[in-house]
Amino acid sequence: MQGDFEAGPSDVIEPQDPLFAAQAELRYMKQTVAALRDELENARQQSDHAVQQAVSSANSETAQLKMTISALRDELEQARASREKAVQQAHAAGENELRQLKATVGTLRDQLESARHEKDQAVAQALAGAQNEINQLRGTIATLRDSLERANIAKEDAVSLLRAQHQAETGQLHMTVHELRDQIDRSRAGAKAQT
């Protein structure tokens, strides 16, 4: 390689001798060409070896792939046969289930019609009972309203009476307080007179 010849012509010649310098450079170039040829040959050998290994590996992988393809084809054929058998069985089962479902639908329709008739009767009875209960509740509400009105009137009367009693009691207390203050003042005045 060129790296094996670190000393160039400028390191071994005298600048004053052009012929000697040219000859030295020519030798250097020949050495470089020889080194590059050796390197190229080595690279070719390595490339040939790599190609042979790649071809061998490819041939081996191709053989394995062919075996795998054959096995997959057999498996696919078995899967197709199994699928066709499963489809036939599913079709037969579906036909049987369809017949059973049709019979069930007929039975359910009859039961639904009967249930609707019973529901209509139950709804009519429930509505009649509800209307009767509503009427009773309305009467109860009216009675309760009258009772509440009377209770409110009685409460207002009681509150008015309590207010009057409170005012009278408050007036009496004020008078008592005033009398007591007068007695205290007279008592204090008498005490001062005695002293």
Q: Which residue has the higher pLDDT, 58 or 181?
A: 181
Cα–Cα distances in Å, from 75 out to 69, 71, 93? Answer: 10, 6, 26
Q: Whole-model pTM?
A: 0.29
Asked if residues 5 and 17 have their Cβ atoms less than 8 Å apart, the reply is no
Asked, for residue 127, whether it belongs to a domain, the answer is yes
Residue 194 lies in a domain: no
pLDDT band at residue 195 under the 50/70/90 scheme: low
Domain count, the chain: 1
Give domain status of residue 192, yes or no: no
Quickly list H helices, the chain.
18-194
Phi, psi of 7, rounded to the nearest 5 degrees: -85, 110
In which domain, by residue range, is 13 found? Answer: 2-182
In a domain, 189, yes or no: no
Q: What are the tens digits of pLDDT across the range 136-193? A: 999 899 999 988 998 888 888 888 888 888 888 898 888 989 888 888 888 887 777 7
Is 190 inside any structural domain? no
Query: Does 63 reside within a domain?
Result: yes
Residue 138 within a domain = yes
| pLDDT tens by residue, 98-120 | 899 899 999 999 998 998 999 89
For 26-34, what is the mean pLDDT?
87
Does residue 195 fall inside a structural domain? Answer: no
CA dihedral 70, 72, 75, 81 (to 10 degrees): -90
Structure tokens at 183: 């007695």
Whether residue 30 is predicted with pLDDT greater than 80 in this model: the reply is: yes
